[in-house]
Amino acid sequence: MMEYKGYIGNVEFDDSAKIFHGEIINTKDVITFQGLSVDELETAFKESIDDYLEWCEEEGVSPEKPYSGKFNLRLSPSLHREVAITAKRMNLSINRFVEKAIEDEINLARV
């Protein structure tokens, strides 16, 4: 993973073409980059983001910001009820309960 100005790039290596290629993964907009070496890849990564931000400015549109920290979550009514009850029992807000559950799952996935 690579990071620049809050944008995160995921990189893969194409063995048949002998080239690195990557994509920004924390926006809905498609931003890609590629290079034959690590140095080329890093330069292309930063240039792609800078080009995207420059294009947005020229077009008068707001660039998509990397995730804001807000998202809607749809649950069945019965699961929503269980979450609310369990959070209350744990003396947590529903938001903190869900955040903690997600953090726990991410930590388990890293092992």
Q: Residue 64 has what pLDDT? A: 86
The total domain count for the chain is: 2
**Structural domain range at position 39:** 2-59
> Is 70 part of any domain?
no
> Is 67 part of any domain?
no
Give the burial string for 44-81 (b: 16+ CB within 10 Å, else e): bbbebbeebeeeeeeeeeebeeeeeeeeeeeeeeeeee
Residue 90, φ and ψ in degrees, nearest 5: -90, 0
Q: Residue 13 has what pLDDT? A: 94
Same structural domain for residues 7 and 54? yes
111 residues of the chain, pLDDT tens digit each: 899 999 999 999 999 999 999 999 988 889 999 999 999 999 999 999 999 999 999 999 999 887 777 788 999 999 999 999 999 999 999 999 999 999 999 999 988
Same structural domain for residues 46 and 87? no
